[in-house]
Amino acid sequence: MTTSFILNGKKVEVTAASDANLLWTLRERLQLTGTKYGCGISQCGACTIHLDGNPVKACVLPLSAVEGKEVTTIEGLSDDNSHPLQQSWISEQVPQCGYCHSGQIMQAAALLKKTPKPNREEIIKHMNPILCRCGTYTRIMKAIEKTIQ
């Protein structure tokens, strides 16, 4: 079956099996490898992307679910890491292993789009679904708070 959607601002059409999954379509068919596979069961958040502006976990999303919708991956956030969150992530040296951080940034970007000046409690609540096994949570908080200053 063919699925048409807007991916990082451009219309794409992908023909795939009816049970094709969004994460693997992004990574293997469309070569957008910034979105990571962690658990595959909607528990870690490494695969977080935006669907019509909302953060969702691509590992449990069928490709067919994005028909006619807008998908944004970390590659679509900016061409050159110039998004304010990416700049804060760099200046605060947030990542340790780095594996979860595209998901972390996509989750944070969705928050700031809807709530440009969230308080600490709102940030913690919103970022809670995205796990970091290295425990960089303090630096993640610092980078988000730096971005909204």
- Contact positions toward ligand FES, by CB under 6 A? 37-40, 42-47, 57, 59
Q: Minimum distance from CB of 149 to ligand FES (Å)?
A: 30
Residue nearest to ligand FES (CB): 59
Q: Nearest approach, Cβ of 79 to ligand FES (angstroms)? A: 25
Closer to ligand FES by CB, 46 or 109: give it: 46
Are 89 and 101 in contact by the 8 Å Cβ rule? The answer is yes
- Grouping H, G, I as helix, E, B as strand and the rest as coil, residue 66 is helix
Distance, first Cα to last Cα, the chain:
46
Q: How many CB atoms lie within 10 A of CB 144?
A: 27
Give how far the C-alpha of residue 19 lies from the chain's centroid of Cα atoms, to the nearest Å.
22
For ligand FES, the closer of residues 109 and 147 by Cβ is 109
Q: Cβ closer to ligand FES: 40 or 84?
A: 40
